[in-house]
Structure 1
């Protein structure tokens, strides 16, 4: 799948649960018309979930089934993919990757508000402290397409949206069809 064959880019927005991915993706989709792909929602709707993990209180993802089902829509372009990991996705799918991050106090409060507790809470806080998702993104994609964005306040959210809008304008300018 080549970028030039797409009429719009594919964007991955990733980060630890609670950093604001869905809020940013929803606003970005509304403002740009790009399709917001909530991976967990798609997985549920298309039976791409496997056994339930009682420790983390969630189901595991059937990655092969999910990826097979997304191939056509990703090939077309114009997608904002929202997921807490980037490991399942092929490099060829994305033109840019944004890893959202937040401070530990804000993240803790957000996760507690979602009902996270015990090992699930601790592991997600550790994931943010050690920047696991950012390291994963750097090892999965070309370094020039991976960008880290702090997403703590409403002001930062708006700044992040403006930065992404600017990137989109540049992408469309550089990839104009003849």
Structure 2
């Protein structure tokens, strides 16, 4: 069974995965790279759609217990018996906006990704599918080494879940329109 690191774009999945893989001497399985190399991305408007059923079949052949799997599609293409622990990295939507601007995301794509983070869609889907194997780690305001420490605590001790509620933060800031209205 594998360690899985997932979350919305811009939360630091690849950075943290690289550090964890080095520390634990594990190989990395990058779901997006596999999907791209397998020709499973289909460009639609501002997004890339993926054939998740085909990707799930490919991953079934590649996953072992000596892997760290990374990608925002993890909750949709892995099965519970393949996963030791699924760590969902969470980041404040306010912190994500400059990351998305640097990546030259369109306004629509920024709203979709920040909206997904605010609503906790990936976290919710991971919890629904992987239950007790799912842990959230808030990366906002933390250094890379602090996040790595938190993630290692989840992996080794099976504790350190952080309840994350960006919706309450956004509502308190009276910013729902900033993230959800065109």
Same-fold status (TM-score > 0.5): yes
Q: Which runs of 5+ in 2 are unaligned?
A: 159-182
Q: Distance in 2 between matches of 1:146 and 1:29?
A: 19
1:168 CA displacement: 4.3
Structure 1 residue 64 corresponds to structure 2 residue 56: no
Q: For 1:1-178, list aligned pairs within 5 A.
A: 9-49=1-41, 51-54=42-45, 56=46, 58-74=47-63, 76-85=64-73, 86-142=75-131, 144-155=132-143, 157-169=144-156
Q: Per-residue displacement from partner, 1:2-22 (whole Å, max 9, x unpaired)?
A: xxxxxxx40111111111111
Counterpart-to-counterpart distance in 2, 1:166 and 1:101: 16
Relative contact order, CA 8 A, sep 6+: which one is greater? 1
Q: Distance in 2 between matches of 1:165 and 1:25?
A: 11
Q: CA deviation at 1:39?
A: 1.0
CA-CA distance at 1:167 after TM superposition: 4.6
Partner-residue secondary structure (3-state), 2:78: coil
SS at structure 1 position matched to 2:72: coil
Compute the TM-score of the two structures, normalised by the length of structure 1.
Answer: 0.79
What is the aligned residue count?
Answer: 157
Q: CA deviation at 1:160?
A: 2.7
- Structure 1 residue 128: deviation in Å? 0.9
- Judged with a 3 Å threshold, the aligned counterparts in structure 2 of structure 1 residues 115 and 67 are, in CA distance, closer, same or farther, namely same
Any gaps of 5 or more consecutive residues in structure 1? 1-8, 172-178
Aligned in 2, Cα 1:167/1:99: closer, same or farther, shift over 3 Å?
Answer: closer
Rounded to whole Å, the distance in 2 between the matches of 1:11 and 1:169 is: 11
TM-score of the two chains, using structure 2 as the length reference: 0.78
* Aligned partner of residue 52 in structure 1, secondary structure: strand
State how far apart, in whole Å, the 1-side matches of 2:146 and 2:103 are: 25
